[in-house]
Amino acid sequence: MLDLVSLKLFVECINTGSLTRVSKEQHIALAALSRRINLLEDHYGVQLLERTGRGVSATDAGHTLYKKAHDIFEQVHLAQADVSDYSHGKKGSVSIIASTSAITYELPKQLNSFNQDHPDIRVEIAEAFTTEVINSIRSHHHELGIIVNTNYIEDLVTLPYYKDELVIITSKDIHFNSPSINFGQITCFDFVLMDGSTAISKLLSSSAAKVGQIIRVRVRVGSFETVCRMVEAGFGIGVIPKKIAMQFTQTMELNFYSIDEEWSTREILICYNKSRPLSLAAQKLLRHLQYSPS
């Protein structure tokens, strides 16, 4: 069985690079500390620390364990937090990780109503790109995820959440004659986009490649609001969800236009890992997201 105390001491040895320092800081005899590290190495059957006259450093195997140890202690911390909730009147907790599109518009209102209906359930929320959401659900770091429909998610359970329409936003000095625009009409413009890892950025790049074009990205930013502000300032055009565009065009000098392409309508999904049953709290949140109005 893995000894968490020894694992913690091992992590501190790498952090400090010194057995002697860890011995003093953790109030453990140097011989006892060395014994724990040796037992840890015996447990895994590999050398974990490189010992020199200047101190200690991780071997390749030790570096791998060091990275995994951080995940282990994070899960232990979360477990402690979840269990402590029960002593404060909570009856469960659920963690959800959502794409930027969902967390910017749809999700907050539904989570607010869920908290009102279930004040005894603690909800932890994280924002990430769709690829990161998928990886987090696969690794069991979060129970529920909200993603843009994509390929290669057959190993996850997916359920429909809502439809999302992408639109083009422009500054007021850019005008098109039609309320709906073909994608080929805009590839000549500079673009203001979010990080290249976002689903929208990947979609635009692949769509441009299919027609032999490339997306000229002038500015990359971290939020839809900043996309809108940079577009308003004349740095290029942007592509964002329609509901978010409607929200920001009320307060900014912007136009928005529909995109006359099939891919402009996206399906947003709720997902979870099929290899582990959902907690009761997660089941309640899942039903709320599916059936309560947003």
Task: Tell me the CATH number at 18.
Answer: 1.10.10.10
Write the DSSP string, 172-188. TT---SSSEE-GGGTTT
- 280 with 242, same domain: the answer is no
Give the mean model confidence (pLDDT) for residues 26-46: 92
Residue 293 predicted with pLDDT over 70: no
Give the mean model confidence (pLDDT) for residues 87-115: 84
Residue 91 predicted with pLDDT over 90: no
Domain that holds residue 51: 4-86
Residue 89 predicted with pLDDT over 60: no
Residue 51 predicted with pLDDT over 80: yes
Give the mean model confidence (pLDDT) for residues 22-49: 92
The sign of the torsion formed by the CA atoms of 30, 36, 42, 44 equals negative
- 80 with 95, same domain: the answer is no
Six-digit token string for 181: 């625009």
- 252 with 227, same domain: the answer is yes
Q: What is the total count of domains within the chain?
A: 3
Cα distance between residue 240 and residue 127, in whole Å: 17
Residue that the structure tokens 């290669």 belong to: 152
∠ CA 119-122-126, nearest 5°, is 130
Task: Tell me the CATH number at 259.
Answer: 3.40.190.10
- 247 with 184, same domain: the answer is yes
- Mean pLDDT (the chain) is 89
Residue 294 predicted with pLDDT over 70: no
148: phi then psi, degrees, rounded to nearest 5: -80, 135
Give the mean model confidence (pLDDT) for residues 271-283: 92
- 19 with 141, same domain: the answer is no
